[in-house]
Amino acid sequence: MFRCVLSAGFLVRTVHTVLTWGVTLVLFLHDTDIFFICHSDLYHQENQWKLLQPLSFGLLVLCSVLLYFAVSLMDPGYVLSDCNKKPLPTYLEQGVMIPEAPSGMRLRRCGYCLLQQPIRARHCKTCHHCVRRFDHHCPWIENCVGERNHPLFMLYLGVQFLVLLWAFRLTWSGFQFEASWTEWLKVNIFLLLAFILTGIFTFVVALLLGCHCYLISCNVTTWEFMSHHRISYLKHYDSDTNPFDKGIARNLWDFFCKCNRVAWEQVYFRGTYNIV
């Protein structure tokens, strides 16, 4: 029981939740724009609409937390059984017929879970599963980002980025000026910590969001981008060539608007066997 409670996933999710609501509490208790709105005279009709700002901020924070737990806890696309493939030229490997790929590339069984890996899948040693369209294992959500949860992960990053930008501006609005640095630090210490945290995380999330948007527009995963020369189905191509690329518009449409599982073997072999 204690191993379950003190697992890495539990600790990471607890830290994320505490930091999120801790910073939010600091913003509501200090003299930020939200603090003044919440404590202003709301009986005046012209001020009533201003309640929408703290209410909207609180709902946006809640939405980001719910998205975080959804992405963190959901199945990223685990390969739980051998995949049924359409007939392709085959060869015999360890007594099992495996589809043959061009240029000597071999589709293989995972050396850890012994399941036949579909193209773009990879075994995660942390999660102990092969993941379809594996992108990366994210330590902040303590889960893999794969075919099933990657779109939701992007939505989470977008909402989180909006929350952090808003929180960064609110922390700046709450600083009070004092006669000395010692007095200033006493008054603003928690606000300063919130300012530093939101600044760091805003930069990191913005970087992640930009990188993932670029990779998605090219239909490339983080793993494929970083290990192109070592991946069996890509190392036969130039670094600028991607067999899964359908053009920016089609890549974005397929990623965000299609929820069905993709047979990447058909996309990969389309130029060789005219399957699609």
Return the active site residues.
138
Non-local (6+) Cβ contacts of 124 within 8 A are: 130, 131, 134, 137, 144
What phi-psi label fits residue 219: left (phi over 0), alpha (psi between -120 and 50 degrees) or beta? left
Q: How far apart are the first and last CA of the chain?
A: 50
- Closest to 37 (Cα-Cα) out of 93, 183, 27: 27
Radius of gyration, CA atoms only, the chain? 24
